[in-house]
Structure 1
Amino acid sequence: MESFGHLDEMAILRKIDLHLIPMLALLYVLSFLDRKRNIGNAKLAGLQEDLKLTNNQYNWCLRQRWSTPMFFFTYAAFEIPSNIILKKVRPSIWLPFIMVAWGVVMTLMGIVKDYHGFLIARIVLGVAEAGLFPGVVFYLTNWYTREEIQLRQAMFFSAASLAGAFSRLLAFAIGKMDGVGGLGGWQWTFILEGIVTVLVAFLVLFVLHDFPATATFLSEEEREFVTYRVKYQVHAKQGGRPLVPQNDELQWEFVRAAFSDWKVWVAVIMYWGFVCPVYGISLFLPTIVRELGFKKTSAQLMTIPIYATAAILGIVVSYFADRVGKRSPFIIGPLLFMLIGFLICITCTKPHVVYAEVFIAGAATTPGVPGTITWLSNNLTGTLKRSVGMALLISMANLGGVSCSFPVFYRASDAPHYRLGHGLEIGFICLAIVAWGVLLIGTYRVNKQKEKRISEGALDSVTVEDLSAQGDQAVSFRYVY
């Protein structure tokens, strides 16, 4: 690192941020609009009435990833191969390919005529989008060190909250097109957002940079510096021994290692505590707003403050998490706020109070998602194991999240109080708190054990190549907690 001492590291990071984060955030805004937000907006614009959907049929369509056992397997399995493909295919090719696929499906959703057509379109949409989120969160780890990544993950993920706010404004505007060309407002919502997604995909093909070693906006020396700092960041320095590089090999043993790592499965349970409330809030929030006395168009606008606040809070919390260099304190805080929010929701019937508590709980979900993803990514290496582990986390954790759209969770007959749904959300949050404690204590104890082994001479008979191949199991690797 001494040979790069004359370079301005912060200036280089700002340059990377400028070239990567806005484009990736735009991708996720479009993905989140297409996958989740616009179906709620379309419902308010008349989708359920025009397609003659029952409440249970609407919930089945919303649950686009799990509508059949075959699709359940397809979606759950696709995120991991997608991240492996991302290791072999340029991100600037693979990510636009995913975008074109889901953009075309989204556009066609605007012309479906009945429940079965809409259900099939939602199934295909889930398959098309499956690789984007895990692909981007892994892609970012190839540019930033462990001490910098949570802020960037939050800047990317907060786009989901901005999508929530933007989608309400967009729905408000598109709703005025109801009847244009003989199409309903909900149809124009799908058609226009699908077309925009395809157009942006062609832009991404030319402007997204693949990896630091090929980034044209960096000088040759800057490319070497960024590549070096990421490659040699994960193993602790041990006296005068050579630094241990991160393993970049594509070997199936690293895939197996990701599936058998206890940290991945504990993180999955912890992730449920954030993902489940995200899905649940999106289901019952429109009802809460209507209970306040707002009509369709005004109801759209009343949800904006929650999503905007969540985006800001996610970035602020992640900034301090990176500055402190810890993950666990900045995850337990949001979990406790969410727990308090849902406890008040389940015990109070006054719409204004419930709205305020949903505001608190909804805003707290955004810091927790990038925090959980970052905590796991910090504790997995080499690159293939981290890629598979992050995809496995997101894929399995969404099982819990999507289950919240099951009719038995937020039933129409329970409106507007939804005590059953709120109670189940509280259960997921409590389970996440337990998982948080297990991951914290587990990583702390393993670090202590590794320090003891080093003091007993564990490094004396092992080579740099061995340590690199062992990844996060190596005695020189330190877990972040």
Structure 2
Amino acid sequence: MSAHSEESALKDKELKAEHADDAPPTYAKDEYTAFQGLPPDPDAGCSEEEKAAIDKRLLRKLDWKLIPWLSLLYLMSFLDRTNIGNAKIAGLTSKPPAGIGLSGPEYNISLTVFFISYALFEPLTNVLLKRLKPSIFLPMIMFFWGLCMTCMGLVTNYSGLVAVRFFLGLCEAGLFPGVNYYLSCWYKRSEFGIRAAIFFSAAALAGSFGGLLAYALEKMDGLGSKPGWAWIFIIEGLATIVISVASIWMVHDFPDDAKFLSEADRIRVIRRLKMDKQSSAEHEDFKMDYFWSTCKDYKTWMYSLIYMGADMPLYAFSLFLPTIISSLGTFSTVQAQLLTIPPYACAAAMTIFVGWMADRTKQRGIWNIGVSVLGIVGFIMLLSGNSAGVRYAGVYLGAMGIYPCISNTISWGSNNFEGVYRRGVAIGIFIGWGNLNGVVSSNIYIATDAPAYRIGHGIVLAYLVLFLFGGSTVQTLILRAENKKRLAGRRDYWTEGKSHEEIELLGDRRPDFIYTV
């Protein structure tokens, strides 16, 4: 290479490093065509316009086959885990025969046990999902949590409720991390955010729909000698079981084994992921090295910190919103149920908007930072507001500041872990850790603190400021600094003396893997 060429190459690297913060870089086309292991292009003879049209049709096909049904599964999941809040104001905690006679601490413990089993089993579920296949694993766990849900409508005492809530958490543990990991194996990093957001928006819709459904089911009070709160559990549990049976045919396997793909489409999916520096669509044998390397990766624990900053407030909000709204004024049970609907609808819209914008801008950290400010302001209003109007407005901002950060954080983390099992284990760990903080959520809104609930609002606010806002800011700065080093060639030595196969196994630790910031 001439001195002029070397000088030019050096200037190019310096220029890339200088602009690393502006936007994630793109890779040259010839860099991909030289990438070993890339499947043959089934569209090799097509023009660029024709290839773009084929890719667009493929993406539309994937969206219609995957997203609607998976969103329905999560809607049912979130509905089933949080409808206890609706059942509470419908009479669950009342003295028999109207309720089962729960004290304030007993109600909080019944919420807590769900998160213990839910969090403990989540890190293991993505390995099971990969080994058993989604079309087997997801319908199976859904059937069993539907059974648990139905049994909740039949309990007659505190110990029975606690036992069923524990098994509900165990059975639901595999859905949320499993589906997020599953979707990340189908879409490019710049496409994943909006899909994860649409999927997670089902949680907000579940809150909105749950209030409306609880209002309708309460009218069954007395039917079959059962109170209205029991019918909330029974009907929603039976609906879950029916959907789980249909899921045997509606849930598809990973790209290398999905029945709805033609051979050409299968190759297209794998090619586009490998060109995006991903290999998660392909078969990979499990090794404990993947597990331990993920546990040692600082990103796993940074995303765990950020995720708990969103997840604890999420559960505090969703479990106690009917109670919080009831405390704002002299609302009837029906009015309180209906007033939960608009904040959730706004949260769902905001979640999809943030997912779309994060994909378009290829920036996820900055959206976490900005949106978390809405939640912070909302809980300051709930904490310090003197009028019901101000505090109810704070509920809207709280919902819009929490819900989008859940899916955005998961998309952000998924984008930055490569390898079938590394990504699966990482998602399981940080979602599991976040959900373990549901134990905190279950115990901060206590009856003796009503109606202001200053302790509960204050703890949620602290999580938003320290972990969601603070953690997102620190992680964004760290990743941007690392990208600069990789673009400047200061990580190239990591691949010295390694074969192509060894380099590919490095995953996100390859020098040419650029993090999403």
- TM-score scaled by structure 1? 0.92
Q: What's 2:331 paired with?
A: 294
Shift of 1:246: 7.7
Q: What's 1:311 paired with?
A: 348
> Which of 104, 123, 130 does residue 87 from structure 1 map onto?
130
* Alignment deviations for residues 231-267 of structure 1 (CA, whole Å, 9 cap, x no partner): 34227xxxxxxx9998833111011111111111111
Q: What's 1:69 paired with?
A: none
Distance in 1, Cα, partners of 2:280 & 2:393: 50
1:30-429 to structure 2, matched below 5 A, reads: 30-36=76-82, 38-49=83-94, 50-66=99-115, 72=116, 75-234=118-277, 248-290=284-326, 291-406=328-443, 409-429=444-464
Distance in 2, Cα, partners of 1:282 & 1:465: 46
The answer as to whether partners of 2:118 and 2:435 remain within 8 angstroms in 1 is no
The answer as to whether partners of 2:374 and 2:400 remain within 8 angstroms in 1 is no
The answer as to whether partners of 2:66 and 2:252 remain within 8 angstroms in 1 is yes
User: Alpha carbons of 1:456 and 1:282: their partners in 2 closer, same or farther (altered >3 Å)?
Assistant: closer
Q: Partner amino acid for 1:21?
A: I
User: Alpha carbons of 1:474 and 1:246: their partners in 2 closer, same or farther (altered >3 Å)?
Assistant: farther
Unaligned runs of 5+ in 1: 67-71, 236-242
The answer as to whether partners of 1:269 and 1:431 remain within 8 angstroms in 2 is no
The answer as to whether partners of 1:232 and 1:246 remain within 8 angstroms in 2 is no
Distance in 2, Cα, partners of 1:244 & 1:19: 19
Provide the identity percentage: 40
* Alignment deviations for residues 326-363 of structure 1 (CA, whole Å, 9 cap, x no partner): 11111111111111111122111211110101111112
Shift of 1:423: 1.3
Distance in 2, Cα, partners of 1:181 & 1:347: 45
Distance in 1, Cα, partners of 2:500 & 2:400: 45
The answer as to whether partners of 1:48 and 1:54 remain within 8 angstroms in 2 is yes
Largest Rg, 1 or 2: 2
> Which of 17, 21, 27 does residue 67 from structure 2 map onto?
21
Distance in 2, Cα, partners of 1:462 & 1:480: 25
Distance in 1, Cα, partners of 2:106 & 2:274: 49
Shift of 1:311: 0.7
User: Alpha carbons of 1:208 and 1:431: their partners in 2 closer, same or farther (altered >3 Å)?
Assistant: same
Shift of 1:283: 4.2
Of the structure 1 ranges 393-402 and 450-459, higher mean CA displacement relative to structure 2 is found in 450-459
Distance in 2, Cα, partners of 1:342 & 1:331: 17
* Alignment deviations for residues 401-447 of structure 1 (CA, whole Å, 9 cap, x no partner): 331211xx212111121111111111111212221122112111222
Distance in 1, Cα, partners of 2:152 & 2:493: 63
The answer as to whether partners of 1:34 and 1:106 remain within 8 angstroms in 2 is yes
Shift of 1:367: 1.1
* Alignment deviations for residues 27-52 of structure 1 (CA, whole Å, 9 cap, x no partner): 0011111111x101111221111101
Distance in 2, Cα, partners of 1:42 & 1:173: 12
User: Alpha carbons of 1:322 and 1:244: their partners in 2 closer, same or farther (altered >3 Å)?
Assistant: closer
Q: Partner amino acid for 2:220?
A: M
Distance in 1, Cα, partners of 2:384 & 2:411: 34
Shift of 1:455: 8.4
The answer as to whether partners of 2:491 and 2:511 remain within 8 angstroms in 1 is no
Q: Partner amino acid for 1:201?
A: S
The answer as to whether partners of 1:234 and 1:478 remain within 8 angstroms in 2 is no
The answer as to whether partners of 2:495 and 2:503 remain within 8 angstroms in 1 is no
- TM-score scaled by structure 2? 0.86
Distance in 1, Cα, partners of 2:450 & 2:341: 22
Q: Partner amino acid for 2:462?
A: G
Of the structure 1 ranges 443-452 and 150-159, higher mean CA displacement relative to structure 2 is found in 443-452
Of the structure 1 ranges 344-353 and 288-297, higher mean CA displacement relative to structure 2 is found in 288-297
Q: Partner amino acid for 1:208?
A: V
The answer as to whether partners of 2:494 and 2:510 remain within 8 angstroms in 1 is no
Q: What RMSD, in angstroms, separates the aligned Cα atoms of the two structures?
A: 2.0
Distance in 2, Cα, partners of 1:474 & 1:147: 19
User: Alpha carbons of 1:476 and 1:181: their partners in 2 closer, same or farther (altered >3 Å)?
Assistant: same
Distance in 2, Cα, partners of 1:106 & 1:245: 34
Distance in 2, Cα, partners of 1:421 & 1:244: 41
The answer as to whether partners of 2:270 and 2:281 remain within 8 angstroms in 1 is no
User: Alpha carbons of 1:75 and 1:28: their partners in 2 closer, same or farther (altered >3 Å)?
Assistant: closer
* Alignment deviations for residues 124-159 of structure 1 (CA, whole Å, 9 cap, x no partner): 111111111111110001110101001000010000
Distance in 2, Cα, partners of 1:455 & 1:301: 56
Distance in 2, Cα, partners of 1:301 & 1:79: 33
Q: Which SS does the other structure have where 1:368 is aligned?
A: helix
Distance in 2, Cα, partners of 1:467 & 1:265: 24
User: Alpha carbons of 1:231 and 1:48: their partners in 2 closer, same or farther (altered >3 Å)?
Assistant: same
Distance in 1, Cα, partners of 2:173 & 2:283: 26
The answer as to whether partners of 1:287 and 1:416 remain within 8 angstroms in 2 is no
Shift of 1:463: 2.7
Q: Which SS does the other structure have where 1:355 is aligned?
A: helix
Distance in 1, Cα, partners of 2:280 & 2:93: 58
Distance in 2, Cα, partners of 1:341 & 1:325: 27
Q: Partner amino acid for 1:388?
A: V
The answer as to whether partners of 1:247 and 1:468 remain within 8 angstroms in 2 is no
Shift of 1:472: 1.3
Distance in 2, Cα, partners of 1:420 & 1:201: 39
The answer as to whether partners of 1:467 and 1:475 remain within 8 angstroms in 2 is no
Shift of 1:282: 2.7
